[in-house]
Amino acid sequence: MNNIAIIGGGAAGLSAAVNLKRAGREVTLFERGDRLGRKLSATGNGQGNVTNVHMGVEHYHTDDEPLLARALARFGEKETVEFLSSLGGVFLPDARGRVYPAGRQASAVTDLFRRELERLQADVRLNSQVTALARTKGGFSLTTAAGKETFSAVILAAGGCAAPNFGTDGSAFALAKGLGHTVLPLSPVLVQLKTDPGEVRGLKGIRVDASLTVKRKGRPLGTFRGDVLFTESGLSGDAVFRASSYAMAGDEIEIDLLPDVSREQLESALQKGEGADCLLCVVNNGLGRLLWKRCGGDKRRLLALLKAFPVTVKGTLGFAYAQATRGGVPLKEVTESLESRLVPNLFFAGEMLNVDGDCGGYNLQWAFTSAHLVSEAISCR
């Protein structure tokens, strides 16, 4: 197999291209945008959180956990760091296990890929959106504005629907559907949550290190510790992003604004000082004034608000603000090598597949893992 098209120049497509070129295969990489790796360059708040040392299937949502677990066992965080280091640079974990390039610049990770593809003299076509993909006798015919070309194998690595400003508007799912694949319902994850505006009024811009519990009909679904940022329309921050993988409209969220402080400690602190002053050095002053108003001067109610500030989920800010996509081509429709069970020599990698990970490097890990499984299978043929 030596005439391979890769559709999508993101983390997955770039990794597959490097692997296949290193294995001596001829590949053509089609990227609809005018630059490679635009989303990769924006990851981790621009710092590039490429994987996580606490890797495991429990950090993912998918339709086939056993397959995903085997995939991560074959190519996990260690292999990712080795692979990225083979391109150049140094990659280090922070205290929470999130792995970043030592220079803390995501765009430099993209530059490593670009440099390696140049060295390998890969055929990279920018501004080349693939608009149709069809089976032919010996393989596939692929259409771009420049015309039709044929390939013996195709890797679909065109991303999901999240953050369409980076070229991923979900339109590439039509290519998979056209070849008979199912696309499971698509929804945004790792995204800001919308709440009842009244519940967060006056709190915009306040950031707390909190613990947030999502409840459905009173039943806890999960607790998430980390940054919570109050916004005009709801909640943001890394704890909220992680919670967004579980929460849906109608769920209740309770925010423990002081997770490291016991009720007894708080009770005693609140005894000192009258009015909102009792909250000095307990919470941010702006937050304190609002909480005092909301508790109506009742310190028992104030304590309850501090340990379980309630908000109701009204939805999310949608794909435009999301970091990842839930849904896509089911793992049940692909083999261990992520080759289509319906169309031989059609492979999938990255966010197009129904795998989405928690915040913290898990989605890029999936892009690298899937790209490696696919390129290994193609290289062996």
Ligand X SMILES: Cc1cc2nc3c(=O)[nH]c(=O)nc-3n(C[C@H](O)[C@H](O)[C@H](O)COP(=O)(O)OP(=O)(O)OC[C@H]3O[C@@H](n4cnc5c(N)ncnc54)[C@H](O)[C@@H]3O)c2cc1C
Least distance from ligand X to the Cβ atom of residue 19, Å:
14
Cβ closer to ligand X: 282 or 355? 355
Crossing angle of helices 106-119 and 11-22, in 10° steps, is 30
Least distance from ligand X to the Cβ atom of residue 20, Å:
15
Cβ closer to ligand X: 157 or 305? 157
The token pair at 5 is: 């098209």
Query: Are 340 and 333 spatial neighbours (Cβ–Cβ below 8 Å)?
Result: yes
Cβ neighbours around 194 below 10 Å, total: 20
Q: Which residues contact 64 (CB under 8 A, 6 or more apart)?
A: 330, 331, 332
Cβ closer to ligand X: 81 or 163? 163
Least distance from ligand X to the Cβ atom of residue 45, Å:
7
Cβ closer to ligand X: 140 or 292? 140
Cβ closer to ligand X: 29 or 291? 29
Residues that bind ligand X (CB under 6 A): 7-13, 30-33, 38-40, 42-44, 49, 129-130, 157-159, 162-163, 166-168, 172, 323-324, 350-351, 361-364, 367
Least distance from ligand X to the Cβ atom of residue 269, Å:
37
The token pair at 229 is: 């940022």
Q: Which residue has the tokens 């000082």?
A: 273
The token pair at 88 is: 């150049």
Q: What is the largest CA-CA distance in the chain?
A: 82
Least distance from ligand X to the Cβ atom of residue 40, Å:
5
Q: Which residue has the tokens 């032919």?
A: 136
Nearest-Å Rg of the Cα atoms of the chain is: 23
Cβ neighbours around 137 below 10 Å, total: 6
The token pair at 98 is: 């999130």
Question: What ranges in 201-313 are assigned the alpha helix state H?
Answer: 238-243, 263-271, 285-295, 299-307
Residue in 17, 350, 7 with CA at minimum distance from that of residue 161: 350
Cβ closer to ligand X: 158 or 334? 158
Least distance from ligand X to the Cβ atom of residue 357, Å:
7
Cβ closer to ligand X: 73 or 132? 132
Least distance from ligand X to the Cβ atom of residue 352, Å:
6
Q: Name the residue with the smallest CB distance to ligand X.
A: 10
